[in-house]
Amino acid sequence: MLTKRIIPCLDIKDGRTVKGVNFVNIRDAGDPVELGASYASQGADELVFLDIAATTENRKTFATLVREIARHVNIPFTVGGGISSVADVAPLLEAGADKVSINSAAVRNPQLIDELVKAFGSQFVVLAIDARKLINQWIVHTHGGSKPTDKKLFSWAREGQERGAGEILFTSMDHDGTRQGFATDPLAKLNELLQIPVIASGGAGTKEHFLHAFTLGKADAALAASLFHFGELSVPDLKSYLKNYNIPVRT
Q: Which of 11, 45, 88, 176 is catalytic?
A: 11
Task: Give the residue, 18 or 146, on which the prediction is more confident.
Answer: 146
Q: Predicted confidence band at 22 (pLDDT cuts at 50, 70, 90)?
A: very low
Residue 43 sits at φ, ψ, to 5 deg, of 105, 20
Instruction: Tell me the percentage of the chain whose pLDDT exceeds 70.
Output: 88
Residue 102: closest CA among 77, 76, 127: 127
Does residue 192 carry a pLDDT above 60?
yes
Does residue 221 carry a pLDDT above 60?
yes
| Range in 3-17, 86-100, 228-242 the model is least confident about | 3-17
Q: Which of 45, 51, 88, 130 is catalytic?
A: 130
Question: What's the chain's average pLDDT?
Answer: 88
Q: Predicted confidence band at 17 (pLDDT cuts at 50, 70, 90)?
A: low
How does pLDDT run across 111-167, given as a tens digit for each residue? 999 999 999 999 999 999 999 999 899 999 987 778 899 999 999 999 999 999 999
CA 119 to the chain's CA centroid: 22
| pLDDT for 13 | 75
Task: Give the residue, 151 or 232, on which the prediction is more confident.
Answer: 151
- d(CA 131, CA 120) in angstroms, rounded, equals 27
Task: Give the residue, 176 or 9, on which the prediction is more confident.
Answer: 9
Radius of gyration in angstroms for the set of CA atoms belonging to the chain, rounded to a whole number: 16
- d(CA 190, CA 223) in angstroms, rounded, equals 16
Could you confirm whether 28 is annotated as catalytic? no
Average pLDDT over every residue of 85-95:
88
- d(CA 71, CA 178) in angstroms, rounded, equals 32
> pTM (2 decimals)?
0.91
Task: Give the residue, 121 or 16, on which the prediction is more confident.
Answer: 121
Task: Give the residue, 184 or 68, on which the prediction is more confident.
Answer: 184
Answer yes or no: are the C-beta atoms of 37 and 189 closer than 8 Å. no
| pLDDT for 65 | 82
Does residue 183 carry a pLDDT above 60?
yes
- State the distance between the two ends of the chain, measured CA to CA, in whole angstroms: 15
Question: Per the CATH hierarchy, to which homologous superfamily does domain 5-244 belong?
Answer: Aldolase class I (3.20.20.70)
What distances in angstroms separate CA 87 from CA 31, 104, 129, one per listed residue? 28, 16, 22
Residue 168: closest CA among 250, 113, 111: 113
How does pLDDT run across 30-61, given as a tens digit for each residue? 678 888 888 999 999 999 988 866 554 444 55
Could you confirm whether 114 is annotated as catalytic? no
Q: Which residues of 199-238 are buried (b: 16+ CB within 10 A; e: fewer)?
A: bbbbbbbbbebbbbbbeebbbbbbbbbbbbbeeebbbeeb
Answer yes or no: are the C-beta atoms of 146 and 159 closer than 8 Å. no
Percent of residues in the chain assigned helix, strand, coil, to nearest 5: 35, 30, 35
| pLDDT for 247 | 98
| pLDDT for 114 | 98
Q: How large is the greatest C-alpha to C-alpha distance in the chain, in angstroms?
A: 46
Residue 165: closest CA among 99, 216, 104: 99
Average pLDDT over every residue of 188-212:
97
Residue 223: closest CA among 170, 186, 174: 170
Out of 1-5, 75-79, 103-107, 110-114, give the one with best mean pLDDT.
110-114
Domain ranges of the chain: 5-244
- d(CA 19, CA 247) in angstroms, rounded, equals 28
